[in-house]
Amino acid sequence: MAETETKLKPSLLLLARNLAIGAMAAAGGYYMVQTSEIVVVILGAGLLLVGPVMVLMPLFMGLPARGVCPQCGGTIETMSRDDRNLLCRGCDSYLDAGQGKLRRSDPNRVEAEPSFAAPSPWSDITLVVYPTVAFSASDKIQDWLTTKKGGVRVMEARWPQQCVVCGAKPARFDEMARQIAKPGNVMDTEIVVAAKGIPYCGAHKEGVVFERIDSATPGASGCFGLKFRSLTYRNAFMSANPWRFTWHQ
């Protein structure tokens, strides 16, 4: 039987691991910015920013912690003592960390940005090298959806007939698309993923995006799917589309 909350314990082992990763990121970034390749320099600059943040984070946000999911008992790791919208890979539940406890996230929560993950139907897309900005230009998306040119995948999904943000009666049905790169042994494969028939009320937009997904469960490094602003709609979408997350190992 699922519990309402479980204990969350600070972990010195996780702290040591995060400090080591932060130090290595900073060191790697330093050497990367010395090169003449623009892409490598940009990535190195990013590592130079991430490294010190990981090292200094415990001073401001507390120690990283480990606990068990109150829904399924799976292991959960947090970056700090207080965190929210943590995805459990064992049961696909969302959790919040605070006051030494792990609790189920409010099922009615709506965030300002898409935060709640759902799987896509494409099990071959796990690791995404560099997702670019999402396309919102209607004419460009319509061209992809109509012609289905090479490298375009259109998601055939059942969308619960309510606004993806607030749950109100739909006033329109939008499209979205995103260009991503799937890594290969020799070269990356560029793919455009698209969806249509997304229900919105007159007051909302941009309630769902294609995005890389991470979880708070240790092990796999991530996957690719959708993120919703509304946890309620995310749960309804997953019930209507029983796809499974495919995590990159």
Q: Which among 160, 167, 147, 245 is positioned nearest to 197, based on CA atoms? A: 160
Q: Do the bridges between strand 189-200 and strand 134-135 make them parallel or antiparallel, or are there none, so unpaired? A: unpaired
Strand-pairing partners, residue 78, are 65
Token look-up 């698309």 returns 177
What is the average per-residue pLDDT within 205-234?
91
Residue 134 has pLDDT above 80, yes or no: no
Distance CA(105)–CA(97), nearest Å, equals 9
Q: How many H-runs (helices) and E-runs (strands) does the chain carry?
A: 4, 13
Residues contacting residue 186 through CB under 8 Å, at least 6 positions apart: none
Task: Summarize pLDDT for 31-81 with one digit per residue, the tens.
Answer: 787 877 776 777 777 766 666 665 556 545 556 788 999 999 999 988 777
State pTM to two decimals: 0.77
Residues 178, 135 contacting (CB under 8 angstroms): yes
pLDDT digits (tens, 9 = 90+) for 70-129: 999 999 988 777 889 999 999 999 999 988 899 999 999 999 999 999 999 998 888 776
Task: List the domain boundaries for the chain.
Answer: 5-104, 116-240
